[in-house]
Structure 1
Amino acid sequence: MRNIHLLLRSLMCILLFFYIASPAISEDASPDIPLYHPVYPLLDRLNARDWVAVPDTRPLTRIQVVRMLSAVSSQSMSATERGLINRYIAELENRAAFTREPRWTWHDSAASVTLEPLARQQVIARRGDGFLNETASQTYIGGSMRGRFHTLGFYARHFEAREWSDQPRLRREDVLAHPLEDVQLKGKKVDFRESAFQLAWANTWMRVDVGKGSLSWGPGRTGNLLLSNNAPSYGLFRLRTSHGRLRYTHIASSLRARPGLIDTTRRWIDNGHVRIFLRQKRLAAHRLEIAFSKVRIGLHEAVVYGDRGFELLYVLPVAVFAGTQNHLGNRDNLVIGADISAHILTGLTLYGACFFDDMVKFDPNAFSNQFAFQLGAFWVDPLGLRDTDVRAEYVRVEPYVYAHNFHINTYEHYDALLGYPTGPNADRYFARVTHRFSPSLNASLTFERERQGENPVNPDGTIVNVGGNAQLGRRLEDPTTRNFMSGNIETLKKIGGHVLFAPVRNWTLQMQYQHHRITTQQSRVTGHEWTATMAVNFY
């Protein structure tokens, strides 16, 4: 508790100093745009054409994106692209898209508030010997609020959700919805909810915000190695600053320990009820992004630590975690990474990323140096096909990446990885072709092949640890060597199609089909998955 109070007092002093020292511009404090918003694929197209420089440190703010879209409006483009740009500018500037839009807005010279409903109805049907055959329905109902008050920007969103199925839900793993915070299992029904919120302040050169949200750092679009939007939202304090070609972000975050990691020192009976607490878990991370005319480079590091409050040396924005972690006794989970994206030709972007987990020495053979890398390409209007783009990615994650000797330091929030979703001892090929027929209609075809080396289980129930599960770090009895794709190899191939129709902005109808083929050393099975979705303001 003392650590939390010390942290809050320190942050208040920092904010007060900057508030007094610098003039504030409220527009820079506009709320972030959620990572699933459809404006991001459009920004990737504009970035690949070298029309505008779009950072790979995301999410971006509403004002940032409006400025980017406005800056390219004079370029020669298709009617579809121009229609999308006009649609998103109108949305982000808070202009109504049609007469009876379900939105309430109030504003004066010092403040503004916008309230919007959000909803999503999704039906999933799974058939085939590769699945537990079932039909599931997911219903989300909620709302969002955003606005400003003088120099502060704010945003809040909440939804209540229920998943129905014709199959029982006995564990978290049975639930199809993702990502998940706490769930209430009720036979064939599951209830869950999630909130995200943000309070931001900015001046001409710095922005500070606190709240609960998700981050994505890097050029990957199927996930990134250091931070992806794979996990539920988490509490964070964030500082962002930029100067010229440089952009720097620092966060101090509170994570949720995996269900079952109980703090045994804080368990007691209160009013006849057993009261338990999960162990404390924290994340600190920072990223420096350098933008040149044709190349963007990102450098970042992060550390997950637990069983204590916020560590002051990790909270400081100028800390170097590689040295700080050593100073604190090498008891935390340190990760380091870098990425690069380059515009080789107009319309073609190549990118790559590397990632080291627990790197303590520059020795490729050291067990502590677990490694992952990612390669990708994004091609806009290939071979002259307008309003079309192609993306291809390959990711390889070595054994034991994201795991740690201490369970509390696993690189996850709840039971979802903060980094790339495949987990360790895995690789993945991904390819997608997307065509936009109009601002309201697009379709895509995808192919994926994912391999996973899972930990074998002996007849007596003991686990042979080959580094195939991020939730199981190296034990004392495990070998000091690791081999990629050892263990039980499972190969998953997916081929599918997706159609999205958005008659008006933020109202979408989607249909998706995926064919699955799962191959192991003992069997080969197939499955079919159909998904139909209707959503309003849900991203």
Structure 2
Amino acid sequence: MRNAAPLLCLSLIAAPGWSASSDIVPRGSVLNDAFAKMALLNALPGYSAADFSGDGVYTRQQLALILEGALPDLETANPSEAILVSLRAAASDLSPELDADGVDMGALSSALDKSGASIGGFVQPEYRIKTGGSSDSGIGAQGVYRVTALGTYNPRLQYAVSLSDWPKEWRRDLNNDVGDHSFTPVNEAYVAWKGSHGLELRAGRFYNAWGPGTRGATLMSDNAPPYDQIRLRFPFSLGSRLGRNYLYTQTAGFFKEYGATKYLETRRIEYRFSRQWNADVQEAFKTTSAGALWATPLPLNSQALSLDKLIPGARLKNIDREFNYTVNLGAAYTPSPDDRIYGQFFIDDLRSPFGSTTKVVPRKISYLVGSAFKIPQGPSVTLEYTYADPTTYAFQSDKAIWQNGTHNWMGLPSGPNSSEIYLGVTQKFAGRITATVEGRERRRPHNSFPAPQASAFGARVRYDSTPSSAFIVGYYDYKQNPFPFAPGQPGYPPDTGLTPVGEGDQGTYVRRREVDLSYQFAF
């Protein structure tokens, strides 16, 4: 179906600025799929579908700017229904950023007031050739895919379903390194209802990723798989004295971990100081008790209160051992659409945010600092440094570690007891060729379990042969030292009531070198 005059409201759109929202959009997110579909249909000049279906990551701020830049051209382009469906999905998800940039969201929603559905995705056959090392993991012919259906019943109610095995594939050697990752073919599946004044309620399975880091975030990161949850989001104001540009987000959900059901609740308040500066405070808890979710209206650190009075049959001792509360602070400075500086600070245990890393209740913090910028007429560069204490993301009880299944840290993918530096450089040539070189070095700051030292190097060249297809050649070199200790062995931390948790087998040295030959076809 075609609509001859769907976007007349675009004359109401202010000149694009930039939003300060700095969250990385997860690689497997439906939002990326909506942009890939629009790029495939030539609705995003200068971008190909492969730009949104590969290793590269965008912030919400960057996607909002890409969309804003395309809207004026769409006003006279008589867009197809497939474009309109993807545009509705993207505009709805990015409404806080678009509204902050001066887009009249009421007028835009009215212009897109049509029901419809669209199916898109990609298939990527590839062959991995071993060139050296000690591990044959993943070598040989493989295929990755993602198929996403987007639809709208009315301007307020939307749905999305995404089937994929792609998240397994991009969590490869350069990212989280050891072992299989929990995953289900239903990548995301949710319904979203839009109310008045920016209110949004979403229910189903989807990602949470709260942070600006390319390699991950300290509290909620895209290296963990999506899970079943409900999300409430709305903007609010506290007046001229206390500020007007707040955004509140809260989620409650559950997932399976080692066969047991775990419950997770998160909350965030963001504040935008200006077009360049934004900051947020995040808090979350993970628990084995569904009754703890009744604490939703209260501050999430309310386990310090008398939860036994709120949760029938609960005992404070049990709540304390299986109720892991965390808090996170973040800030970002975005002087231009292509340049940003950012940082996050994570506290795993409010009882010991500072001091020694070895006392009975050790310090349990992590932090991330980074910068992403584009050199004029040159490449885009990302430089990040992350650090986590030895017992960060662990807990008194393994039941409440900051993890979602084996190897799926909800925080930094490098895990506890690590410091890591990452450098990535991407350059486009002649519009069709994109080259990327990236590397990372992870060290173990303290000679203790669990994280081993590791390093990785990757290089890729992508050639967009048509708007719907691309050829990719990649080289990867990954090496990881053996895990240093095992429980009961000399050197393992003494029993202090805390149980460090790690991945992999002690004494195993890992080395992988391979060449990947891939072909990606979008539809």
What TM-score do you get using the length of structure 2 for normalisation?
0.65
1:323-375 CA-partner distances (Å, limit 9, x unpaired): 34554332301111111112468854221111011222565346254010111
Q: 2:442 aligns with which of 421, 429, 450?
A: 450
* Correspondence for 2:204: 211
Structure 1 residues 228 and 137 mapped into 2: Cα distance closer, same or farther (>3 Å)?
farther
- 1:364-406 CA-to-partner distances (Å, cap 9, x unmatched) read 346254010111111212xx3x252111001111111111122
The answer to whether structure 1 residue 287 and structure 2 residue 279 are counterparts is no
TM superposition shift of 1:132 = 3.7
Deviates more, 1:492-501 or 1:419-428: 492-501
Q: 1:417 to 1:325 in 2, by over 3 A?
A: farther
CA distance 1:433–1:153, shift in 2 (3 Å): same
1:446–1:497 contact (8 Å) kept in structure 2: yes
* 2:213 partner SS: coil
Aligned pairs for 1:105-184 within 5 A? 110-132=114-136, 135-140=139-144, 143-150=147-154, 151-159=156-164, 179-181=181-183
Q: Distance in 1 between matches of 2:339 and 2:63?
A: 24
Residues 526 and 387 (structure 1 numbering): CA distance in 2 closer, same or farther, change over 3 Å? same
- 1:202 & 1:411 partners in 2: Cα distance? 31
Quote the residue 1:360 is aligned against: 351
- 1:312 Cα deviation (Å)? 1.0
Residue 496 of structure 2 is matched in structure 1 by none
Residue 201 of structure 1 corresponds to 193
CA contact (8 A) 2:25 2:209 kept: no
- How far residue 532 of structure 1 moved from its aligned partner, in angstroms, is 2.7
- Going from structure 1 to structure 2, the CA distance change for 1:141 and 1:497 (only over 3 Å counts) comes to closer
Q: Which amino acid letter does the alignment assign opposite residue 181 of structure 1? A: F
Q: How much does 1:123 deviate?
A: 2.6
SS in 1 for 2:414: coil
Pairwise CA distance, 1:194: 3.2
Measured in 1, the distance between the counterparts of 2:86 and 2:306 equals 53
Report the equivalent of 1:311: 293
Distance in structure 2 (CA, Å) of the matches to 1:59 and 1:210: 23
Asked if 2 retains the 8 angstrom alpha-carbon contact of 1:123 and 1:138, the reply is yes
Three-state SS of the structure 1 residue aligned to 2:391 is: coil
> What are the within-5 Å matches in structure 2 for residues 369-380 of structure 1?
369-380=363-374
Distance 1:502 1:127, change over 3 A: same
Alignment partner of 2:461 out of 480, 499, 510: 499
SS at match of 2:65: helix
Partner of 2:250: 250
**Aligned partner of 1:135: which letter?**
I
Over residues 124-168 of structure 1, what are the superposed CA-to-partner deviations in whole Å (9 max), with x where a residue is unaligned?
A: 23342343476233334563211111220110122479999xxxx
Counterpart amino acid of residue 420 in structure 1: L
Aligned to 1:515: 477
Report what 1:302 is aligned to. 284
Identity over the aligned pairs, expressed in percent? 17
| Paired position in structure 1 for 2:301 | 322
Query: How many angstroms apart in 2 are the aligned matches of 1:202 and 1:345?
Result: 30
Classify 1:387/1:156 alpha carbon distance in 2 versus 1 (closer, same or farther; 3 Å): farther
- Whether the 8 Å contact between 2:255 and 2:404 is mirrored in structure 1 is yes
Contact 2:339 2:371 in 1 (8 A): yes
The secondary structure found in structure 1 opposite 2:257 is coil
CA distance in 1 between partners of 2:121 and 2:382 (Å):
33
Structure-2 residue corresponding to 1:409? 400
Alignment of 1:7-156 (within 5 A): 35-36=27-28, 37=32, 68-72=65-69, 93=84, 110-132=114-136, 135-140=139-144, 143-150=147-154, 151-156=156-161
Match of 1:422 in 2: 414
Residue 519 of structure 2 aligns with an amino acid whose one-letter code is: M
Partners of 2:386 and 2:268 lie apart in 1 by 21
SS at match of 1:530: strand
User: Which residue of structure 1 aligns with residue 519 of structure 2?
Assistant: 534
Q: Following the alignment from structure 1 to structure 2, what is the Cα–Cα distance between the partners of residues 234 and 504?
A: 35
Counterpart of 1:284, as a letter, is E
TM-superposed CA distance for 1:419, in Å, is 1.1
Q: CA deviation at 1:510?
A: 2.2
Q: What secondary structure is seen at the aligned counterpart in 1 of 2:476?
A: strand
Q: Are 1:59 and 1:215, in contact at CA under 8 Å, matched by a contact in 2?
A: no
Matched AA of 1:242:
P
Q: Deviations over 1:301-330 (max 9, x none)?
A: 11011143562113x3xx311234554332
Partner residue, 1:470: none
Separation in 2 of the partners of 1:163 and 1:110?
35
Q: Is the 8 A contact 1:59 1:216 kept in 2?
A: no
Q: Using the alignment, how far apart are the partners of 1:157 and 1:502 within structure 2?
A: 24
Consecutive unaligned residues of structure 2, counting only runs of 5 or more, are 1-23, 40-57, 88-111, 170-176, 237-243, 308-315, 485-506
Which letter does structure 1 place at the counterpart of 2:417?
N
In the alignment, the residues of structure 2 paired with residue 144 and residue 525 of structure 1 have an alpha-carbon distance, to the nearest angstrom, of 35
Letter in 1 for 2:183: E
Count, aligned residues: 394
**Which range moves more in the overlay, 524-533 or 113-122?**
524-533
- Given candidates 429, 454, 467, the residue that maps to 1:437 is 429
SS in 2 for 1:256: strand
Larger relative strand fraction: 1
Q: Which whole-Å CA distance do the structure 1 matches of 2:510 and 2:186 have between them? A: 35
CA 1:446–1:92: 2 relative to 1, 3 Å: farther
Q: Secondary structure at the match of 1:412?
A: coil
CA distance in 1, matches of 2:346, 2:121: 39
Indicate the SS of the match to 2:140: strand
SS of 1:69's equivalent in the other structure is helix
Name the CA distance, whole Å, in 2 between partners of 1:162 and 1:216.
14
> Bigger CA drift: 431-440 or 247-256?
431-440
Please, which of 228, 233, 238 is the counterpart of residue 240 of structure 1?
Answer: 233
Match of 2:494 in 1: none
Give the Cα–Cα distance (whole angstroms) in 1 for the partners of residues 151 and 198 of structure 2: 21
- What's the RMSD between the two structures over aligned residues? 4.1
* CA distance in 2 between partners of 1:242 and 1:162 (Å): 31
Secondary structure of 2:66's match? helix
SS of 1:413's equivalent in the other structure is coil
Q: Which amino acid aligns with 2:373?
A: W
> What is the CA deviation profile of residues 23-50 of structure 1, one whole-angstrom value per residue up to 9, with x for unaligned ones?
xxxxxxxxx976443969x9xxxxxxxx
Match of 1:311, SS state, is: helix
Q: Cα–Cα, structure 1 residues 140 and 526, in superposed 2: closer, same or farther, change >3 Å?
A: closer
Contact 2:326 2:348 in 1 (8 A): yes
| Equivalent residues of 1:137, 1:163 under 8 A apart | no
SS at match of 1:321: coil
The alpha-carbon deviation at position 414 of structure 1 amounts to 2.2
**How far did residue 208 of structure 1 move?**
0.5
In the alignment, residue 295 of structure 2 is paired with which amino acid? L
Question: One-letter code of the match for 2:230?
Answer: F
Supply the AA of the counterpart residue of 1:502. D
1:527/1:398 Cα in 2 relative to 1: closer, same or farther (>3 Å)? Answer: same
| TM-score normalised per structure 1 | 0.63
Q: Could you tell me which amino acid in structure 1 is paired with residue 193 of structure 2?
A: W
| In structure 2, distance between residues paired with 1:446 and 1:516 | 12
